[in-house]
Amino acid sequence: MFAPFIIFRKFRLRVVPFIGCLVLSQFGTAFAQDDIGECSATPLESPLGSPALLYQFDGVEYFEEDLPNDLQQALFDMRMEHYHKQLELIDAAILGNHLRQASAETGKSMQTLAGELFAVGRPDHQAVNDFYNDNQSRISQPLESVREQIRQMLAEQAAHEKRAVLIKSLKRPCAFEAGISKPLAPFVEISYQEYPSKGSVTAPIIIVEFADYQCPHCKTAAAALSRIVGQYPDDVQVVFMDFPVNRSGISRVVAKGAVCAAAQASFWPYHDLAFERQNSLGADSPLEIATDLGLDRELFSACYESNLAEERVAQSEREAARLGVASTPTLFLNGRRLQLRNLDADLREAIDAKLAENDT
């Protein structure tokens, strides 16, 4: 179970239902949010159908595919936000029906029943301290200044998780299927050919990841993608592209070092070690990692100081901007951006669905 994305600002805490590290976020750490809980099959995606007319201007018709990639992604994001809000309303309706029925049977008010069902204990000092220690670099405030806010946030999170578990259990015995269609991400061409990859070069599925070495969820995604390559050795190829969004600038120097490690055929060992040392990365980390991997220090340093490393990272950034990428990690599967609320489960589901589609 992962925590929601937490923003610390002006000594206040708020929970934002977002997965990943935002480009513009000043504070905060991002984790995967657990799936809101479907009972049987995930709602079906929208059929491709005919091109959607967006607007007419001066006698000319403009369709969605006529938009630049970044605007197509922005339109898709709006639809996905609306879609998830609809699913939340469905969950609220299912829960409301359950509470009304229980209220009629027990004579207790719905509010009383909700209080009993979602009651959680007061988070202890250790839980608060653990959360603070895990996120201290992003909170930037003394523990005592935010202790009660953290405690309240942890309690609200625990209550939210109990609610999600109950809703999922209510759907399980039924033939639940949402009556709304899941938006289909727009297809984009991605220039990834020069970037490091692993998995079969003839795989029918290509996952392109844009990531930041200081983004906590990117570390989780890196491990998940490694497992995916192991589980689908003939079917999946994973491509890594840099999108260093962390304001410290450390992600950028680490990304430049990765380019130079790749020049010595050691990108993935460097990548894995950089994520392993995520909490202690600094300006000297690239050379330290290269040294620990036994790379040629002189070649590495010459590469790092050259224009090659900076230009390769900048090229990846430009590609991310062209595609409308706004957070890390962002994953594309065969040119369509993935929406992952439960990283491992949703990723496997997307892969299996694509493989089944290819078999038909």
- Give dist(CA 68, CA 106) in Å, integer: 57
Q: What is the pLDDT of residue 293?
A: 97
Q: Do 287 and 257 contact (CB within 8 A), yes or no?
A: yes
Per-residue pLDDT at 263: 96
At 64 the pLDDT is: 87
Give me the pLDDT at residue 183, please: 87
For the chain, what are the domain ranges? 35-171, 197-359
Concatenated DSSP letters of 87-123: HHHHHHHHHHHHHHHHHHHH---HHHHHHHHT--PPP
Quick one: how far is CA 84 from the chain centroid?
Answer: 15
| Amino acid 350: pLDDT | 93
Q: What is the pLDDT of residue 283?
A: 95
The CB density around residue 183, as the number of other CB atoms within 10 Å, is: 18
pLDDT for the residue numbered 65: 86
pLDDT the model gives residue 200: 95
Whether domain 197-359 has CATH 3.40.30.10: yes
The predicted pLDDT at position 135 comes to 81
CB burial of residue 217 (10 Å; 0-12, 13-18, 19+)? buried
Amino acid, single-letter form, for residue 44: L
pLDDT score of 115: 93
What is the residue-level pLDDT of the chain in tens, covering all 360 positions?
Answer: 333 333 333 333 443 333 455 443 323 333 333 332 333 333 334 444 466 789 999 999 998 888 888 898 889 889 989 998 999 999 999 999 999 999 999 999 999 999 999 999 999 999 999 998 888 767 878 999 999 999 999 999 999 999 999 998 998 866 778 888 888 888 999 999 989 999 999 999 999 999 999 999 999 999 999 999 999 999 999 999 999 998 889 999 999 999 999 999 999 999 999 999 999 999 999 999 999 999 999 999 999 999 999 999 999 999 999 999 989 999 999 999 998 878 888 999 999 999 998 877
Q: Residue 85: its pLDDT value, please?
A: 94
Confidence (pLDDT) at 276:
96
Q: How far does CA 327 lie from the centroid of its chain? A: 8
Are the beta carbons of 317 and 309 closer than 8 angstroms? no
Answer for the pair 256, 309: CB distance below 8 angstroms, yes or no: yes
**pLDDT value for 20:** 53
Q: What does the pLDDT read at residue 17? A: 37
Phi, psi of 178 (to 5 degrees): -70, 140
